[in-house]
Amino acid sequence: MQTLINKKILLGVTGGIAAYKSAELVRLLIKAGAEVRVVMTPAAREFVQPLTYQALSGHRVYVDLFDAEADSAMDHIELARWCDLMLVAPASADFLGKMSAGYADNLLLTLCLASRQLVAVAPAMNQQMYANAATAANLEQLSSRGILVWGPDAGEQACGDVGPGRMLEPAHLLTNLEICFKPGKLHGIGILLTAGPTREAIDPVRYISNRSSGKMGYALARAALHEGAEVTLVSGPVSLAPPAGVKMISVESAAEMLDAVMQEVPGSDVFIACAAVSDYRVDQQADHKIKKSTQTMTLDLVPNTDILAAVSALAERPFCVGFAAETRDLEKYALDKLKRKNLDMIAANLVGDGSGGFEADVNRLEVFWDGGEHSIALADKREVAKQLIELIGERYTDALSGNPSKA
Measured CA to CA in angstroms, residue 158 lies from 88, 228, 233, 257, 367 at distances of 20, 39, 45, 54, 49
123 membership: H or E segment, kind and range: strand 118-123
Widest CA span of the chain, in angstroms?
Answer: 78
Phi, psi at residue 307, to the nearest 5°?
-60, -45
What sign does the dihedral 309-310-311-313 (CA atoms) show? Answer: positive
Residues 99-128 that bind ligand PMT (CB under 6 A): none
Which of 270, 273, 385, 388 forms a contact with ligand PMT (CB under 6 A)? 273
Q: Of 325 and 376, which has the nearer Cβ to ligand PMT?
A: 325
Q: Does residue 322 interact with ligand PMT by CB under 6 A? A: yes
Got the DSSP string for 266-333?
Answer: GG-SEEEE-SB--SEEESS--SSPPPP-SS-----EEEPP-HHHHHHTSSS--EEEEEEEESS-HHHH
Residue with Cβ nearer ligand PMT (277 or 367) = 277
The distance of closest approach from Cβ of residue 279 to ligand PMT in the complex, given in angstroms and rounded to an integer, is: 6
Residue 359 touching ligand PMT (CB under 6 A): yes
> With respect to ligand PMT, which residue has the nearer C-beta, 53 or 271?
271
Q: Which residues contact 370 (CB under 8 A, 6 or more apart)?
A: 338, 344
Q: Comparing C-alpha atoms, which of 216, 213, 151, 178 is closest to residue 382?
A: 216
How many chain residues bind ligand PMT (CB under 6 A)?
28
317 binds ligand PMT (CB under 6 A): no
- Shorter beta-carbon distance to ligand PMT: residue 100 or 194: 194
- The 168-197 contact track toward ligand PMT, x by CB under 6 A, reads --------------------------x---
Contact, 84 vs 9, CB < 8 A? yes
Which residue in the list 159, 180, 274, 320 is annotated as catalytic? 159
83 is catalytic: no
CB of 195 to ligand PMT, least distance (A): 7
Cis check for the bond before 152: say yes or no (omega within 30 of 0): yes
Q: H or E element: which one contains 195? A: strand 190-195
* Residues 195-254, interacting with ligand PMT (CB under 6 A): 212-217, 254
Sole binder of ligand PMT in the list 112, 307, 320, 399 (CB under 6 A): 307
Cα 17 to Cα 124: distance, rounded to the nearest angstrom: 9
* Type of residue at 121: V
Q: What's the half-sphere exposure (Cβ side, CA atoms, 13 Å) at 403?
A: 8
Of the candidate residues 207, 323, 369, 396, the single one contacting ligand PMT (CB under 6 A) = 323
Q: Please, are residues 380 and 356 in contact by the beta-carbon 8 Å criterion?
A: no
Q: Which of 98, 199, 226, 337 binds ligand PMT (CB under 6 A)?
A: 337
Q: Does 338 bind ligand PMT (CB under 6 A)?
A: no
**Please, which residue, 136 or 313, has the CB nearer to ligand PMT?**
313
Among 70-78, 118-126, 291-299, 318-326, the segment contacting ligand PMT (CB under 6 A): 318-326
* 349 lies in the site for ligand PMT, by CB under 6 A: yes
In angstroms, give the least distance from the CB of 121 to ligand PMT: 25
In the bound state with ligand PMT, the residue whose beta carbon lies nearer, of 135 and 194, is 194
Applying CB under 6 A, the residues found at the interface with ligand PMT are 194, 212-217, 254, 273-277, 279, 304, 306-308, 322-325, 337, 349, 351, 357-359
Catalytic residues: 159
